[in-house]
Each structure stands twice: as structure tokens, then as C-alpha cells.
Structure 1
């Protein structure tokens, strides 16, 4: 890790940030794609799947650290090891840093002396080995205060305010990309495990008959709220039976706030909410429309609809 830019005292930095309300804001940026529940099989933005898997695995050594922070550091330091420059795969850069996460050798050895690296890297561990480098970064951030004080931890990694800002901005982009739904049941992405389970359940019902009052096979199919109720029951979240009572159970998604996969979308009026679907991203939902139709994927907005609002049942179930 190179030490670029003017060093600022960490105590002063945190005091300034706290006064601006930034410390609390930072802690809320990266809860949308919990490490360990990220699907790395498909590229997320420009993160290579192999590096994505390393970031997700390494984040587990620092409970609460989001994979996206490690990915952002890997991006800014060496473009996930793709940078063609001295010190990435061998040698050192002008500041003495080396490897995909740009560790100074004494810093890397210090981390190695404090922690036992998991198997899968070099023997002995090397800052040039991606597995070892990414795990070392996770250990170092944790030792420096992550995830409780993420700004301070990233500042310890590289003593420059611009660097911290860039890392946190990039991390947020990666976190949002990992949580952004595809609108496709064959490539489910969701912000929480509960949302993922609910979506996978609903997707497994595609083609099932619409049955008024139906909760599944016992009734021969589903109605709209029966489908959403059973989808969330599979995820360990109990919902009321009707669309109207499910809406009132909340928690509500604020008007203008982007929808997340797993949100429930409702249609009707304050007196009569008559339909509900399960949002899966890209403007699509899984729902049981009406008599004579089957459980299907369709747009959640259309000309002349009576869209009313959305709730986020998975908000409280994120582990």
C-alpha cells in the first residue's frame, strides 16, 4: 500500500467527519450485498470472477466487512491485478509496494505475524499471491478499525483523503451492482439472503395456475398474495395473507427510493390494494396476475396501471 498525498492525523480526520455526519453515513453504505451471499459466477461490473470470489472469502475474516471495500481497493491499486506496471506481479513500485493489493513488505510481514492465513495461497504467504494479498488486506483493515470505523481503516491503508473517498465511492458502486436485480430468474441477484430465497421460491412457481385464495400445491396454485406470502415464508419471514394487509405490514419503501430485488410492489388505492408482485430487478416482477393466467414474469409498471407503492420485508432479515 503506497502512502500518497498529505498525511492527516486520524483523530482530527475522524472528528471532522463526525461533525459532517460522514462516519454514520459510511457505515450504512455497504449493507446491501452481505459478503458470503454475493454471486460471483457472473462478472459484477469489471471485477473478474476469480478476484470477486477472493474478495468475498477474505471479507469473512473481518466480520461485518463488505466484500466491496476489498474490491474497491483492488480496483484502485492495480485494477484487480491487471495493471501492467512495476510492482504488480513482481518487483516494487516507486514507493516499495508490491502485489495486487500493493503492500509494503514490512507491512505485509506485520499482518502475517499477527494472523494465520487460510489455506489456498503461497507457501510461505506472498504479497504477490492474490489469495494472500486480499486476505492480508482484510486482516489489515480489521486491525485498523473496520468495519466499525471504515473511513479510519481505509485511511490507515493509504494516508490520503482522496484515496478514502475514491475507495468508498467505488465500493458503493460495486455493492449496488451486486444487489441490482437482473429481472431474470436464471440469474438471481438480491441484496439479502431472505430476498434471494423469496425470489428463488417465486421463480420456481413460474407456470403455476392462478387460483383465488391459493397458497400452493394443496389448492392447485396461487393467487397474488398467496405467492408472495409463501415466497417469504420460505425465507423465514411471515407475512399476512392479503395484498392489503401485506402492504400495511411494511416496512414501506420511501417514494422515489430505488426498488431492490425482493421488494413487494402493490397496486390499488388506500382503500383497496388489490394486487401484489415480487420485484426481481430490471423493472420486472414475478406475480400471479388473475384468473386464466399463470405465475409469470412481467413489468411492474405499465401504461394506465394503478401502482401504489412498495414494501421491503427482507430489510430486517439480512444475515
Structure 2
């Protein structure tokens, strides 16, 4: 793949020396004892278990708590894009990045310590344990902690918005929806998923305008389910039933951003700490972490109160 400027590296070309099978089996067993942090607790989807080697899946889950709030699915998605979870036969990029998580040798030492259990001493970017833990620390240092700026963190791994979108899409596919949405919420989520990749258009309500803005997308999603919402984000917040702070969100909930009386953005929650939204000009409808720095509150249009 073409290599934009990146912090960790790019897919490349040299045979990787994977640890002994016995060590990987131990890693898988130990990793199963460690719950993830935040979204890391999401169960793997059937696609994830089929696509990710079991030792690597356990390793992603074990490493995610290095960064509180980081989902193991994001680490796994990066591992998929970079080297197909260590399956890529040649792993030195044109930029000189190496190993299963594609680190530049000059960057890796910044995130290699402390050496994780099962890692090499001294640590090396060629070792999956060392590399995945270092990747979690790199993401954390650049905004992934508690989901404060996950997109920025992934962008620092590879300076490409297309790369960020690809990683988040794969991460969403790797997370199992424990309780798939049904009824109106399920219809709204399905509608929003079908719009992924649609351009952002300020004031846009759909194809007639060439795309959506944030509240145009949520309004259209619930219109598909037979629920009428007001047009703008602040009015949607005022018109829909509020979810008490601390109560778990459900797929189909609306998540709002801003301050009291000045709600400026809305997204559609889809589970696993992620939402579908139309974020801003020069972007596309996409999946991303819902916990932005000015997250305000959530509502549930299906509970009561919305016009149907």
C-alpha cells in the first residue's frame, strides 16, 4: 500500500520470526484471564474468531487494558490492516517499519517498556507480544485513553484519514453485538449502516441533497423506522426521552455533544462504544468512538415521546 507519513510504519517485506508455538499457546491462555478496558470487553464476533488467530486474539484482549478505555477491536483492526495478524510473509515496509504491528525501529523503544509478560528481553518490534503492547501505548499517548480522541490516536499510527476509517470499520466488524437491536432501533441502525461512506453535506437530508449532516442522518434513520424527529440536533435532544447518566446505552440511542442549550452534534449509537455519524464538512458518514471530549448526554427515541 502507499505509505503516507506514519508513526509506527507500513505494510512491508521481510520474514517475521514469530515466537514458538508453545509461547503463543501460553499467551492465549493467559490473555483469556484479562478482561478488556471499556470497549475492550466486547465479545468477539463470529467474523473475528474466524479471521484472527486465537493466540493473537487473546493478545489483543490482554494488551488493551494498557490504555484504559481502548477496545481490543482497535488493536486487532490495526493488526489486520498492517500484516493480517502477522500472516504477511514479508514485514519490512518501504519506510523501514517492521514486525506484526509495523513499528519504525526508532519509534518502538518509546513504547516498549515495561516489557509485558511473555515479551522478549530486550523487547523487539518483531515479537507479537512486545509489538501489540507497544501499539496500545502509542495509541494511548495520542488520545485513545477513555476514547477521548480515538480518531486522532489512530491517525498518529498512520497519517491517513482513509486508514482511520478502515481501522474503525474493521473494529466494528470484530465486535459482537450482544443484543442486536430490534424494532424501530434496529431499523434505524440498519438504515444508518447503509449510509456509511455517504458524503457529509451541511443541511443534507439524504440523496436529494447529495448527503447528510449529523442531524439529517439521525432524522432519516428514525424516519425509516416510522419515528419523526425534529431537524436539528438541539431540538432532537429536547424532543426525545433522556437516558440517566451512568445507565448503559443501547443500539439505536442518540448521543449528543455540546453544553446545555447549545447541543451542536448528534450520532446514532450502535453498541461497543461506537456510533455512526456524519461528523463534519469534507468527511463521510462513518463509524467512530462516541466518547468525544464534549459528550453531553444520550436519549432513546424508542422509549416514548417521539412522534410516530
Q: TM-score, normalised by structure 2?
A: 0.45
Q: TM-score, normalised by structure 1?
A: 0.44
